[in-house]
């Protein structure tokens, strides 16, 4: 099956508009965390500034598949200066953001760190070149289960073609599994 978004069709394994993680085989085998330079870089950065949520939810497998010197980590307050909003503008209109508005929105999401999981991919200079979001919804069904919604996958224009969008989707799916979501939906649209 495929998810159809306007005039764009993205081939993925989908059932009822939800990613079937078994069909994608994202988690088909146990992966032992490999200690790579990218993993070490993520760990060093984590010591300097706290992210929107714990970096322990990040897939070591996805990190190992990134281009050399690229990192995958939770959004940080400092990403306002690191190009986060520029990357989002590839996806849709962002609007005017002041540092005060950024901090207000960041703080609001940080207080809900069990609902909002925003990841960024950074190049070797620390500049944000990709992002994606997982929003966790609480349900009454499935014994008060959790459903993940993957949204806002955006990759800087000059970085496209490196499978960073696919890596981001896999990373967010991993986060969803780690926080206990029983299913994950992928929302796509084109301008």
Spatial CA neighbour of 37 closest among 8, 66, 58: 66
**Residue 74: inside a domain:** yes
Which pLDDT score, from 0 to 100, does residue 191 have? 57
Q: Is residue 171 within 8 Å of 134, Cβ to Cβ?
A: no
Note the pTM of the prediction, 2 decimals: 0.75
User: CA angle 71-76-84, nearest 5°?
Assistant: 75
> In CATH, what number is assigned to the domain containing residue 11?
3.40.630.30
**Residue 9: inside a domain:** yes
**Residue 41: inside a domain:** yes
Number of domains in the chain: 1
**Residue 102: inside a domain:** yes
Which pLDDT score, from 0 to 100, does residue 188 have? 76
- Work out the burial of residue 13: count CB atoms within 10 Å of its CB; fewer than 13 is exposed, 13-18 middle, 19 or more buried: middle
**Residue 191: inside a domain:** no
Q: Which two tokens stand for residue 90?
A: 């590839």
What is d(CA 173, CA 97) in angstroms, rounded to the nearest whole number?
Answer: 29
Identify which has the larger pLDDT, 18 or 60: 60
What is d(CA 121, CA 71) in angstroms, rounded to the nearest whole number?
Answer: 6
Q: By residue range, what is the domain housing residue 142? A: 2-186
Residues 19-70 have pLDDT tens digits of 333 333 333 333 333 434 444 444 454 446 899 999 999 999 999 999 999 9
């Amino acid at each position: 099956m495929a998810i159809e978004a306007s005039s764009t069709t993205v081939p993925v394994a989908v059932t009822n508009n939800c990613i079937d993680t078994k069909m994608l085989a994202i988690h088909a085998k146990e992966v032992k965390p490999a200690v790579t330079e990218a993993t070490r870089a993520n760990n060093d950065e984590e010591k300097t500034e706290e992210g929107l949520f714990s970096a322990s939810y990040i897939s070591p497998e996805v990190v190992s598949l990134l281009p050399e010197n690229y990192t995958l980590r939770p959004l940080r307050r400092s990403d306002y200066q690191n190009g986060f909003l520029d990357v989002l503008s590839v996806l849709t209109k962002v609007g005017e953001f002041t540092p005060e508005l950024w901090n207000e929105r960041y703080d609001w999401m940080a207080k809900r760190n069990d609902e909002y999981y925003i990841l960024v991919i950074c190049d070797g200079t620390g500049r944000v070149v990709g992002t994606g979001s997982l929003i966790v919804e609480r349900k009454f069904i499935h014994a008060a289960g959790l459903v993940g919604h993957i949204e806002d996958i955006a990759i800087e224009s000059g970085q496209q073609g490196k499978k960073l969008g696919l890596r981001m989707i896999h990373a967010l799916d991993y986060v969803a599994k780690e926080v206990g979501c029983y299913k994950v939906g992928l929302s796509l649209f084109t301008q």
